[in-house]
Amino acid sequence: MAQSPGRLSLQSRPQEVIDWGRQRDSPPSITDVEQFHREWIVWWISCQPKWRSIESWPYSHNDAINEDWTRLNVSGQHGLFAVVMSASWWARYVGSNPAYAAFSAAIDDLHWVIECFIDFNSNPGASKSRSVPINRFPGHGEREPGKRRVKPSSKACFGG
């Protein structure tokens, strides 16, 4: 399925994400965590740039030198925001060690992608070389002078 303009891949998008995208009134209840986990991973893989899809899951986090992250350059509820929100729902249901290991691998990858994406958008056209330190997650490190911190809308996040 081709990617629609202004949306990440619709291929294998979990039903909970589809329903939330239509209503956004509250986080969905995930009744089958294992199924959600499988669908989320397949969806996340389908959202990746082609150069990244030559590997098998879980992806390595090698340097992304001069790589194009345009495919993930989608803002709003149908972009990377939906991936982060759906990962937060998954986090609510992680309990067992096998489930946590799968969740942790997905979050590590999402974290790495966000860091690469920040670099890509901060300096388009420049050479990219990225080996992401775990302690530099947005909101936990220092921000550039003059950059304000954007607060998420409580309605968008929590249905309030």
The predicted pLDDT at position 157 comes to 35
The percentage of the chain sitting over the pLDDT mark of 70, rounded to a whole number, equals: 72
Round to whole Å and give the CA distance between 100 and 123: 35
Please determine, for residue 20, whether its predicted confidence score (pLDDT) is greater than 60: yes
pLDDT of the residue at 130 = 42
Reported as a single tens digit per residue, the pLDDT across 109-143 is 999 998 888 888 787 555 444 443 333 334 434 44
Whether the CA torsion 80, 81, 85, 86 is positive or negative: it is negative
Q: Which pLDDT belongs to residue 83?
A: 93
Nearest Cα residue to 61 out of 26, 96, 28, 105: 105
